Amino acid sequence: MNRRTLLQYAGAAGALALLPRTSGRAAAAASTTPRRLIVVLAQGGWDTTWALDPKVQSATTDVPVGARKLFGNLDVFADASRPNVSSYFTKYAGLSAIVRGISVSSVSHAECVKRMTTGTRNETNPDLAAIVAHDRGNELPLPYLILGDTAFAGPYAVSAGRVGATNQIIALLDPAQAYATNGRPAFATSDAEDALLARYSDASVRRLHATRGATGYNRKRVDDFSDAIGRGKRLQAVRAGFGARGRTLTLDSQIDLALDALEQDISQTVMTSTRLGWDTHTDIGDQGTFHETTFAGLTRLLDGLTTRPGREAGTKMIDDTTVLCLSEFSRTPKLNSTGGKDHWPVTSAMVIGAGIRGGRAYGATSAAMESLTVDFATGKPSASGRVLSSNQFVAGVLTACGVTAVDHLGPTEVFDAFVA
């Protein structure tokens, strides 16, 4: 019995305290480095000039109060009015890579969220957290834990579970916290009844395997049904880790639950959401508040990852966990007539932790916030390089997590300059 299995059963006992290009670096990561993944989605469109992509005030670009500041070799736009931003990079710049100038080629929220999370233009495709969960942790009780509002499970939906904005999932796992029906307590099955239901479902699966579900798509759906029943029972065994129903999942609460789920091997990947109103068309000043909340959350997350034990003896969670913080697009360089900024088809993202060459920025934008061409081997601006697209960036994150990106994205060039 390995450590992962031991923890699962300890929990069950109540003890849950172009052409494809793959460099040598990418090939090594894909073949030998399975990693956990936490995604922090700042949905709505952040203004990258407030932190991740420093600019100066000019005729082409409006910037907030602040200045470019170096944290080691990593340059960030910072100001005393945004202490949480500076505090995060003071502690964790060395673990963090900023990727700039990612082109999403759209200014639609739904379209850009899809492109930045799935690396495709198809909403039926899985996002990168679903892919990592399926490839690297599909034996866990809930491989893909969705705490935020947006996720794309695609064909891996059987491995994904949504907790709900107020932790409603616990109502399905714990009879004591289930919703009453017509004033009556929730019905709970006995062990004998569970065994009877299991025999019935097993017989149903065998019957379908012998008829309509013998091969192909139908057989897979039948197997997914059987698998889902088993996962549900395993989740009930570790329900203590989800806490109480009615728990409002702010970013801090999501982070705490994500850390617990990964540490106890309930899940391989987690999708979280800042749940902030980033779509600042009328008041750009809100970006400062939202950046402060988000970077305070990231500090909380990294504090947990750097102190909690990892899967191997003598390691910490940060040694086997990658964090991705992103937004679907950025804001226009100039303020509009109402003091806000509109949608802009170029963005920046942060990749942090295991498998990442931190402490520096990759990619670049011009003074007017346009994507510059980049040397894909080094991540540095190059006149002979190419514009970095969202699918190439997603392919790089998948590579950092030990997944062969082209298996899921098709013929896609991998931008892996930030991959260790």
Shared domain for 289 and 145, answered yes or no, is yes
The CATH number of whichever domain residue 17 belongs to comes to 3.40.720
CA gap 163, 304 in Å, rounded: 21
pLDDT at 93 over 90: yes
Report pLDDT for 271. Answer: 98
Task: Select the more confidently predicted residue: 189 or 31.
Answer: 189
pLDDT at 7 over 60: no
Q: Which of 16-20, 34-38, 226-230, 244-248 has the lowest mean pLDDT?
A: 16-20
Task: Select the more confidently predicted residue: 170 or 94.
Answer: 94
- The crossing angle, in degrees rounded to 10, of helices 24-32 and 390-400 is 50
Given pLDDT bands bounded at 50, 70 and 90, which one contains residue 22?
A: very low
Shared domain for 304 and 394, answered yes or no, is yes
Summarize the confidence of residues 161-172 as an average pLDDT: 86
Say if 418 falls within a structural domain. no
Report pLDDT for 335. Answer: 98
The boundaries of the domain holding residue 35 are 3-165+248-409
pLDDT at 340 over 80: yes
Given pLDDT bands bounded at 50, 70 and 90, which one contains residue 5?
A: very low
Report pLDDT for 234. Answer: 73
Shared domain for 174 and 298, answered yes or no, is no
> Where among 240, 260, 288 does a domain terminate?
240
Per-residue pLDDT tens digits for 354-395 = 999 999 999 999 999 999 999 999 999 999 999 999 999 999
Say if 417 falls within a structural domain. no
Shared domain for 178 and 159, answered yes or no, is no
Given pLDDT bands bounded at 50, 70 and 90, which one contains residue 25?
A: low
Summarize the confidence of residues 103-108 as an average pLDDT: 98
Per-residue pLDDT tens digits for 177-227 = 888 877 777 677 788 888 888 899 889 999 999 999 899 999 988 888 887
Summarize the confidence of residues 339-350 as an average pLDDT: 98
Say if 419 falls within a structural domain. no
Q: Which of 224-233, 384-393, 410-419 has the lowest mean pLDDT?
A: 224-233
Report pLDDT for 248. Answer: 77
pLDDT at 13 over 70: no
Averaged pLDDT of the chain: 89
Shared domain for 27 and 142, answered yes or no, is yes
Report pLDDT for 169. Answer: 85
Say if 230 falls within a structural domain. yes
Summarize the confidence of residues 249-276 as an average pLDDT: 94
Domain count, the chain: 2
What secondary structure, in 3-state letters, does the chain show? CCHHHHHHHHHHCCCCCCCCECCHHHHHHHHHCCCEEEEEECCCCCCHHHCCCCCCCCCCCCCCCCEEEEECCEEEEECCCCHHHHHHHHHHHHHEEEEEEEECCCCCHHHHHHHHHHCCCCCCCCCHHHHHHHHHHCCCCCCEEECCCCCCCHHHHHHEEECCCCCCCHHHHCHHHCCCECCECCCCCCHHHHHHHHHHHHHHHHHHHCCCCCCHHHHHHHHHHHHHHHHHHHHHHCHHHHCCCCCCCCHHHHHHHHHHHHHCCCCCEEEEECCCCCCCCCCCCHHHHHHHHHHHHHHHHHHHHHHCECCCCCCEHHHCEEEEEECCCEECCCCCCCCCCCEECEEEEEEEECCECCCEEECCECCCCCECCECCCCCCECCCCECCEHHHHHHHHHHHCCCCCHHHHCCCECCCCCEC
pLDDT at 302 over 70: yes
- Is 1 in contact with 231 (CB distance < 8 Å)? no
Report pLDDT for 76. Answer: 98
Say if 94 falls within a structural domain. yes
Say if 188 falls within a structural domain. yes
Summarize the confidence of residues 394-417 as an average pLDDT: 97
Q: Which of 88-102, 184-198, 314-328 has the lowest mean pLDDT?
A: 184-198
pLDDT at 351 over 80: yes
Shared domain for 193 and 335, answered yes or no, is no
pLDDT at 419 over 70: yes
Summarize the confidence of residues 116-133 as an average pLDDT: 97
Task: Select the more confidently predicted residue: 157 or 248.
Answer: 157
> Where among 240, 275, 299 does a domain terminate?
240
Tokens of 16: 């849950």
> Where among 240, 272, 290 does a domain terminate?
240
Report pLDDT for 226. Answer: 81
Report pLDDT for 32. Answer: 52
CA gap 138, 128 in Å, rounded: 14
